[in-house]
Chain A
């Protein structure tokens, strides 16, 4: 009899513990400065969109809370040949509409990500072919050996084939007028931990917990509400007034206000984005300078002088309110291939800078125009202003052209013909691996191989190019990291770029909730908890 009572008590306790989360429906409300412009996972390759949709859709692999790669819709994987990977898909996973997740959905999603309107073509093209072995096993063939395939696949989200076909959404949503397949633009059906209840692109989106999610999550949040709030002051006010639980980004200068207010705090972890200055080293004459007939930046002494003229600690203290991590490397500590040894910044030494400039033949310095965005990175224009005044101290007169990002990028990027002599840019490798930085920022501009696409100043060293290519296909991690280190060391010794710092993330969080601030500015609902 006693035993039976005990059992019943245990059963009752179990029932209560199961029912408890449902009984306290917890709503989590957050705001971001931009919109969730589409629900189509292949429409736009933008970090907020992909990170937010990551709560609804999932890829074969996914990020954990520290940006580590963990199995997602694939339970496990192995490389059977350098260019062939076997993925074992997770069994028993259902889409939000109840359909089963199978190998056909993977093939369909991969093909969809390659359709005209898709902005995920770069990631999807890392796959050459998919062979379906059975419903839950596939063999993926890559065009070349790819050691970081699973990093590339994090954001290739898997959609339901049947649902997409039924709703005529078999192609990615595109702004070109002939595309009318926009059902997936305003509706979603993923496998993720949350499902979309309501979505109005620039007004409000509501999500609720997916009760049939394949993995148990620790979050007690049953409903999530997202509102875009454009004005920073309004975002901060909405947080302090208690209407919202999380807002981001918060202006750095508002941190003090949040600390003084009750019940809220600023969350300022490091972001995986590196801010740096680049110099035109490709042209024989600078486009924007008073020096004619030659390009001062081709002289290593001038680049070195610039490096020693910049006081990164002062930028950290005065401009970033202490919340930046000065850097000597083009990648952040979260990125695979980061090396603490090379990361020591160039020393601040204006005297040496002046001497180097004199030695290079510019005792009175020279004039150059600097391009800078004013609404893209944390305090971007202020950083540029600081750099201008630091360079002025060693005699270089910098003309600052700070513009909104739409204007700035239109000028300095490839479509503007790399129309710049000296610029500020920020970069987070989408794969969280150094290879992306080596091939897009540090390789010579090359139209055929498409390398160096964002190497705006065309820093060019064939040795680095070769290393970058090898890193792209080397599957031995130790060898690969040694090559990454070698490439970074060369760039550093040649003063190819002037890294400044990793900027801080800046979230405002209510004490009512705990959240995980991922270094790519991603908000994963699975790690949000409402405190009791």
Chain B
């Protein structure tokens, strides 16, 4: 177990290092940060001096080396645009993104699993067919469009829900939450549905496929032959056995929820890390972009690791191999 974790840890470091390297190579194509940092009256000498002070004249490998050295000590530099430490900015925005991703994940599970079970059991029912068709729409419509549509319907026409922002938040020392105020909860509804929709349909289709598979297996047939009621067969025997892959996928998808929150956050002006990143791209705020990408890589690596450990705990065969 320990050696397994250790191996994983080394792999994680390599992954993050690679992400940082790719990110740094890409930054050369984003554009010139200096023009976003000075006004039109600023002289060329001052522009050059600023470039020198920021170390932008150094060769890329040197810039990358400096970044890695400092990042290893937890220092991601200062944002060009906001002129405050990047780590401060990111930790300030993180609660918004995590709360959004968390609510979306719950929504996707709570709605996706029952729908998957239902469509598997009533394969030819009209309602099932309708749900399956709708799920196609959910998969194929881009989140940007869904977000705008929801804003138009519930924000502009019906005026039930706010069209942007996070509402009022309550600040704790290092966490700001929108869960405790009415406007915070109302503001969560549209963005979390937008973000959850894709995962919801994915989970639903996964559960349905797995259920159909399991329902055909011998032990389910035996269970039926034993005269067990449908409810017990379907939920205790069948569903339980479909959940292992569902847990894996959900875990992995949690990472994408955080990463793909970028689009949802920018449509709803949700003040999370994704919005910070998107803004940084147009401002060519390299320190923010670099830190964000490394952090997202870290999230993915961490979630993968947890999923692997869970596997380890769930599947006895893995354990016996190791010992």
Contact = CB atoms under 8 A, between A and B. Distances in A.
Interface of A: 35, 37-38, 40, 43-46, 119, 121-123, 173-177, 179, 182, 185-186, 200-204, 227-231, 233-234, 237-238, 240-243, 375, 404-407, 409-410, 413-416, 427, 430, 450, 453-454
Contact of B44 (A177, A234, A414): A414
A376 to B, nearest CB: 10
A122 B43 contact: yes
User: Per DSSP, are chain A's interface residues mostly helix, strand or loop, or mixed?
Assistant: loop
A37 B32 contact: no
Contacts of A241: 155-156, 159, 163
A229 B39 contact: no
Given A238-B164, A241-B156, 15 more contacts: A45-B40, A122-B42, A123-B41, A175-B37, A177-B78, A182-B83, A182-B84, A204-B165, A204-B271, A237-B148, A237-B155, A405-B31, A406-B282, A409-B31, A414-B44
10 contacts: A35-B279, A45-B41, A119-B37, A121-B43, A175-B83, A202-B82, A243-B162, A410-B35, A427-B40, A454-B40
Interface stretch (B13-21, B48-56, B193-201, B224-232): B48-56
Contacts of B47: 414-415
A207 B30 CA distance: 35
A145 to B, nearest CB: 20
A369 to B, nearest CB: 18
A243 B269 CA distance: 14
Interface in B26-68: 30-44, 46-48, 50-51, 53-54
A375 to B, nearest CB: 8
Given A241-B163, A406-B30, A406-B284, A230 B269 contact: yes
Interface string B133-167: 00000000000000010011001100100111100
Contacts of B84: 182, 185-186, 201
A82 B29 CA distance: 49
A175 B268 contact: no
B83 A174 contact: yes
A121 B44 contact: no
Interface in B64-105: 77-84, 92
Interface of B: 30-44, 46-48, 50-51, 53-54, 77-84, 92, 148, 151-152, 155-156, 159, 162-165, 266-269, 271, 275-276, 278-279, 282-284
Given A176-B54, A201-B82, A234-B164, A242 B159 contact: yes
Given A37-B81, A243-B163, A176 B269 contact: no
Q: Which of B36, B40, B77, B80 has the most CB of A within 10 A?
A: B40
Q: Which of A176, A186, A375 has the most CB of B within 10 A?
A: A176
Contacts of A233: 148, 151, 267
A44 B39 contact: yes
A239 to B, nearest CB: 9
Contacts of A450: 43-44
B39 A46 contact: yes
B275 A237 contact: no
B148 to A, nearest CB: 5
A237 B42 contact: no
Contacts of B92: 200
Contacts, number: 153
Contacts of A43: 83
Contact of A38 (B83, B163, B278): B83
B269 A229 contact: yes
B276 A202 contact: yes
Given A202-B279, A415-B48, A227 B267 contact: no
B39 A119 contact: yes
Contacts of B282: 375, 404, 406
B254 to A, nearest CB: 25
B267 A231 contact: yes
Contacts of B30: 406-407
B38 A409 contact: no
Nearest to B271: A203
Contact of B39 (A45, A177, A230): A45
B53 to A, nearest CB: 4
Contact of A231 (B41, B78, B269, B276): B269
A175 B56 CA distance: 12
Contacts of A201: 82, 84
Contacts of A375: 282
B44 A406 contact: no
Given A202-B271, A407-B31, A409-B35, A173 B83 contact: yes
A185 B268 CA distance: 27
Contacts of A185: 82-84
B164 A227 contact: yes
A227 B193 CA distance: 23
A176 to B, nearest CB: 4
B268 A234 contact: yes
A175 B163 contact: no
B194 to A, nearest CB: 12
A121 B47 CA distance: 12
A453 B44 contact: yes
A415 B34 contact: yes
Contact of A409 (B32, B42, B155, B276): B32
Which 4 pairs from chain A and chain B are nearest by CB?
Answer: A45-B39, A406-B31, A410-B32, A176-B53
A182 B89 CA distance: 14
Given A406-B30, A407-B31, A415 B269 contact: no
Nearest to B165: A227
A177 B80 CA distance: 10
A201 B86 CA distance: 13
A489 B61 CA distance: 52
Nearest to B31: A406
Contacts of A40: 83
Nearest to A236: B156
Contacts of B275: 202, 230
Given A37-B81, A237-B152, A45 B31 contact: no
A35 B162 CA distance: 21
A40 B266 CA distance: 26
A205 to B, nearest CB: 12
A230 B54 contact: no
Contact of B42 (A45, A227, A410): A45
A174 B278 CA distance: 22
B204 to A, nearest CB: 29
A121 to B, nearest CB: 6
Contacts of B46: 119, 121
Nearest to B96: A203
Nearest to A177: B78
Nearest to A185: B83
A81 to B, nearest CB: 26
A430 B83 contact: no
A243 B159 CA distance: 9
A114 to B, nearest CB: 11
A119 B48 CA distance: 13
Q: Which of A119, A227, A427 has the most CB of B within 10 A?
A: A119
A328 B163 CA distance: 43
